[in-house]
Amino acid sequence: MKLAEMTTDEAAAAVRDSPLVIVPVGAQEQHGGGMAMSTDTVRAVGVAERVAERLAGRAVITPPVPYGVSPHHMAFAGTMTLSPATFMQVLRDLVASLHEHGWRQFLVITGHGGNNAALSVLAQEYVRTDLTFAWTPLTSVVSDLIGEVSEVHGHAGEAETAQMLYLAPELVQADRLEPGATALDDLTTTARLSRQSRGPRLSVGFDAYHKRGVLGDPRRATAADGRLLVESAADRIAAFAAELLAA
């Protein structure tokens, strides 16, 4: 149910038959020496399509937003970033456009963790309106299924690489994958403090973690692991969406 492939007449019918709008958002940013900069967008679209399939016609998918909030990756060539304010305004305008056509329920699926803070703030704006605005990350939805990873892991590491090996193996250059930061003891003080899950929060550029901007060892990733993470994320997000639609 891709909105971009519909005619305007089909879209008008979808307002009634497919009340949930799924908006995949990603980023254009470095993912080490072995993965494409579209990685986060590819993963968001891949999960969005699977969620829509599971909802059996009750959702439409918008074209992806391929840019995100990525200033922490700007030390690496090819990265393009939006400011948080611009990112939020883009989504406001897209939601407003579809709201005008009659849609009232929206689910943003983000493949880039750097978008999370802006999405959380944006969601607050819609609390007392006539529309529902929900959003979800990807990997953290299935964090309980991730095993055998480095002490430091995340961006362009085991889990993300596994997902790409499953969704778009042609965008992974396996011979160029290399480990990045893998242990807390190897990090500078500021980089280590930024990894704390509790207490004060600190953000650093990804070049502060490692010269390649990678967290973890992507060489350990497998397509089988990626399939488990992608399909499980789609199952869990679709279950949430189904409850939302039934409310």
Residue 147 has pLDDT above 90, yes or no: no
pLDDT at 197: 85
In this predicted model, what pLDDT tens digit does every residue of 160-198 receive, in sequence order? 999 999 999 999 999 999 999 999 998 999 999 999 989
Residue 148 has pLDDT above 90, yes or no: no
Residue 83, exposed/middle/buried by CB under 10 A (0-12, 13-18, 19+)?
exposed
Confidence of residue 108 (pLDDT cuts 50, 70, 90): very high
> d(Cα 136, Cα 107) in Å, to the nearest integer?
8
pTM for the model stands at 0.97
In this predicted model, what pLDDT tens digit does every residue of 213-247 receive, in sequence order? 999 999 999 999 999 999 999 999 999 999 999 98
pLDDT at 21: 98
Helix 158-167 vs helix 223-246: crossing angle, to nearest 10? 80
Please state the three-class secondary structure of 94-112 as a single string. HHHHHHHHCCCEEEEEECC
Q: Give the pair of three-digit tokens for residue 39.
A: 């990685």
In this predicted model, what pLDDT tens digit does every residue of 40-94 receive, in sequence order? 999 999 999 999 999 999 999 999 999 999 999 999 999 999 999 999 999 999 9
> d(Cα 108, Cα 98) in Å, to the nearest integer?
14
Residue 185: strand pairing partners: none
Q: Give the pair of three-digit tokens for residue 50.
A: 């699977």
In this predicted model, what pLDDT tens digit does every residue of 14-40 receive, in sequence order? 999 999 999 999 999 999 999 999 999
* Residue the block writes with tokens 């849609």: 103
> d(Cα 235, Cα 181) in Å, to the nearest integer?
31
